[in-house]
Structures are given as C-alpha cells and as structure tokens.
C-alpha cells in the first residue's frame, strides 16, 4: 500500500517536472538564447491553459465553448494562442532594455490574470473551466497517471530536440550573438528587433504548451493556478540553477527545483499546527536561499552554456 502511494507520488512529480521543463525550455529560448528578461511566464502559461481548456472541454452554459475538440488540437491551439498573444506584447515591450522588459512583462501577465478572472463569458471567471478531458483519463488511476507521464515525456523530448537543434544552428548562433552584443550584431546585418520577436514568440509558444499540459492533467483550470510565484519565479530559478543557455540544464534545473519544492511540502506538513500557515513562506524562503547560493557560488548554473567545440574533428572521429 505504502509502495503504491510512493509510486503515485513519483508519477505525479514526474508529470510536473515535465511540464515545468517545458516552461524552462521556453524561458531558455528567451533568456538563454536571446537575453530577453521575461518575467511574465505565468501569462503565456495561462493563455495556453485556457485556450486548450476552451477548445477541448464539453460545451457549457454561460461561457464560450467548449468545443469538445481532441486534446492534440487543444494543445496545438494553446501554442498558437500563446504565440499570437506574444506577438503584440513583444512588438511593444522588446524595445525596452532588460530590466524594463521585466517590469513590462510582469504587468502584462497581471493584465492577463485579471482578464481571465473577470471575463466570465470567456473563462467562466473565478470558477474556472472544469471537465477538461485528460488523454487516457478513463483508465484506472495509476495507469492513467502513467499514460499521461508518457505523453508529457514524449512532448518534452520532441520539444527538447527541436530547441536543441537551434542552439548551434545559424539561428541560435545569431540569437546568442544578439544577446552578447546588440550593436555589433546590428553592424553585422542582423535585424535585431525582428529576431528578438521571433525568440520571444517561440519561447511563449512552449510556455503555452506547458500551460495546456497542466490544465489537462488537472482536468480543470482556475485563475488561482496562474500564481506568478509558482508559474514565473519558480521557472526562473529552475533555469538559473540548471544553467541558462543550456537546454539540458533547463531540464535538470526543473527536476532539481521541483523535487526540492515538492519534498519541502512534505517537510512543512510535519510542522506543528501553529506553524502550518507559515509553511508556504518557509518553502519560498528555501527556494530564495537556494537561488542566492547558486548566484553567489555558481552563477553559470550546474550545466553552463556549452561551447560549440570542433565539429570537424568530431566528424573525423566518426569516420
């Protein structure tokens, strides 16, 4: 009995790590590749979650949809919607330098949260959207969890391969060059504004996908899920700890931070009742402390940005 509980917990954790790894990969494109300080991850996460929820849930009174479309249509729609939202935001905000961009994106994420909370016709307001179908959700509990973990893992692998392909490709090289020295990249003929917008949209699409996976796993989405603490700052800590500019690092960071975050909940649950209210803040403190230590002693993260290396000798070695 105990063992099954533990297995369940591990499955649950694995699914969340997968979802967060997608968010961290998205942020790595924006920050690690392009140097864009997006502090509004929660906003794109929410757009993705709600888009897929509306597209796939059964039709309900008093709100838009649902359209009962297959889940993969919803997930694709989530990416498209997040990308479409990112486009005007990027168009306006990417003109700001890094710290101002952070402030602007925090603001935008907050606007999205408030719109979701108050536009009942679109999102059913504070009650949120329920009855979102989960693929293989009809299976018995453990099997269903396992099947969902497999889907999340598959999505993550595909996303990782697609992002990793870009890193050393001319596109990624150009993005990293723009990140390192905007003026010189411009002098070398690169259209900095356009390219930044591309990276911003690409990253936002992955964040939207992460949101959709989250909504389908929970079978529901409410405005409370769009907590900037959990959906934005936790992702930042994951990327910085894992190693920004390194896709494997992003995934590793998501794994490490989520395990600590999740296990710390078990620990704080053991606290005497009078401390239980403070438990959330103890966990936040732990995560904050971890970030401080990483920034102080290993600012490049566990896995630093990789060097391109000599691909010619690698080729020779294969021959």
Partner 1 sequence: MLELDQLVMDFSGFRAVNGCSFRVDEGSITALIGPNGAGKTTLFNLIAGALVPTSGTIRFLGEDVTGLSSDALFHKGLVRTFQIPHEFHRLTALENLMMVPPAQIGEGLFANWLSWGKVRASEAEVEQKAYDTLEFLELTHVAHQRAGNLSGGQKKLLELGRTMMTDAKLVLLDEPAAGVNRTLLRKLEEKIQILNKERGYTFILIEHDMEMIEKLCDPVICMAEGAVLIQGDFQTVRSDARVLEAYLGETAGEVA
Instruction: Report, in Å, the least distance between residue 226 CB and partner 1.
Output: 28
DSSP class per residue in 113-146:
HHHHHH-HHHH-GGG-B-----TTTTS-HHHHHH
Closer residue to partner 1, CB minimum distance, 122 or 177:
177
62 in contact with partner 1 (CB under 8 A): no
Q: Which residues ranging from 79 to 118 are in contact with partner 1 (CB under 8 A)? A: none
173 in contact with partner 1 (CB under 8 A): yes
170 in contact with partner 1 (CB under 8 A): yes
Q: Is residue 144 reached through a cis peptide bond, with omega within 30 degrees of 0 on the bond before it?
A: no
308 in contact with partner 1 (CB under 8 A): yes
13, 65, 119, 305: which one contacts partner 1 (CB under 8 A)?
305
The DSSP code for 63 is S
| Triad 287, 30, 246: Cα angle to 5° | 65
Closer residue to partner 1, CB minimum distance, 6 or 162:
162
Cβ neighbors of 172 (< 8 A, separation 6 or more) are 33, 166
102, 122, 192, 279: which one contacts partner 1 (CB under 8 A)?
192
Instruction: Report, in Å, the least distance between residue 305 CB and partner 1.
Output: 6
183 in contact with partner 1 (CB under 8 A): yes
**Options 76-84, 122-130, 189-197, 255-263: segment touching partner 1 (CB under 8 A):** 189-197
Token pair, residue 168, equals 């050393």
- Per-residue HEC secondary structure of 208-266 comes to HHHHHHHHHHHCCECHHHCCHHHHHHHHHHHHHHHCCCCHHHHHHHHHHHHHHHHHHHH
317 in contact with partner 1 (CB under 8 A): no
311, 316, 318, 319: which one contacts partner 1 (CB under 8 A)?
311
**Options 171-179, 217-225, 227-235, 288-296: segment touching partner 1 (CB under 8 A):** 171-179
118-126 — which CB contacts under 8 Å span 24+ positions? 120/62, 120/63, 121/62, 121/63, 121/64, 122/50, 122/54, 122/63, 122/64, 123/50, 123/54, 123/63, 123/223, 124/60, 124/62, 124/63, 125/223, 126/222, 126/223
Closer residue to partner 1, CB minimum distance, 10 or 162:
162
177 in contact with partner 1 (CB under 8 A): yes
Closer residue to partner 1, CB minimum distance, 120 or 310:
310
Of the candidates 68, 70, 109, the residue with the CA atom closest to the CA atom of residue 89: 109
Instruction: Report, in Å, the least distance between residue 13 CB and partner 1.
Output: 31
- The answer to whether 145 touches 219, Cβ cutoff 8 Å, is no
196 in contact with partner 1 (CB under 8 A): no
Token pair, residue 218, equals 């929970």
140 in contact with partner 1 (CB under 8 A): no
Closer residue to partner 1, CB minimum distance, 192 or 290:
192
Site string for partner 1, 208-247 (x = CB under 8 A): -------------------------------------x--
Closer residue to partner 1, CB minimum distance, 148 or 202:
202
């Amino acid at each position: 009995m105990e063992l099954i509980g533990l297995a369940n917990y591990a499955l649950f954790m694995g699914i969340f790590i997968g979802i967060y790894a997608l968010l961290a990969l998205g942020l790595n494109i924006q920050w690690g590749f392009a140097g864009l300080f997006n502090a509004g991850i929660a906003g794109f996460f929410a757009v993705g979650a709600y888009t897929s929820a509306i597209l796939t849930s059964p039709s309900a009174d008093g709100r838009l949809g649902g359209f009962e479309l297959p889940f993969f249509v919803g997930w694709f729609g989530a990416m498209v919607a997040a990308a479409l939202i990112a486009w005007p935001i990027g168009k306006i905000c990417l003109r700001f330098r890094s710290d101002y961009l952070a402030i602007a994106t925090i603001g935008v994420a907050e606007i999205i949260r408030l719109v979701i909370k108050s536009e009942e016709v679109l999102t059913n307001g504070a009650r949120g959207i329920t009855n979102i179908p989960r693929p293989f959700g009809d299976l018995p509990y453990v099997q269903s969890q396992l099947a969902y973990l497999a889907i999340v893992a598959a999505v993550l692998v595909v996303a990782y391969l697609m992002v990793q392909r870009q890193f050393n490709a001319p596109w990624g090289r150009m993005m990293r060059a723009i990140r390192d020295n905007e003026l010189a990249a411009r002098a070398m003929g690169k259209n900095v504004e356009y390219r930044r917008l591309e990276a911003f949209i690409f990253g936002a699409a992955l964040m939207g996908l992460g949101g959709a996976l989250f909504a389908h796993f929970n079978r529901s989405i409410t405005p409370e899920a769009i907590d900037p603490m959990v959906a934005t700052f936790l992702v930042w800590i994951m990327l910085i700890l894992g190693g920004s500019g390194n896709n494997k690092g992003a995934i590793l960071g998501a794994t490490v931070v989520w395990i600590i975050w999740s296990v710390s909940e078990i620990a704080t649950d053991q606290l005497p009742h009078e401390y239980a209210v403070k438990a959330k803040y103890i966990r936040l403190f732990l995560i904050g402390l971890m970030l401080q230590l990483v920034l102080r002693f290993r600012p490049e993260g566990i896995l630093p940005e990789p060097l391109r290396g000599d691909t010619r000798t690698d080729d020779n070695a294969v021959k």
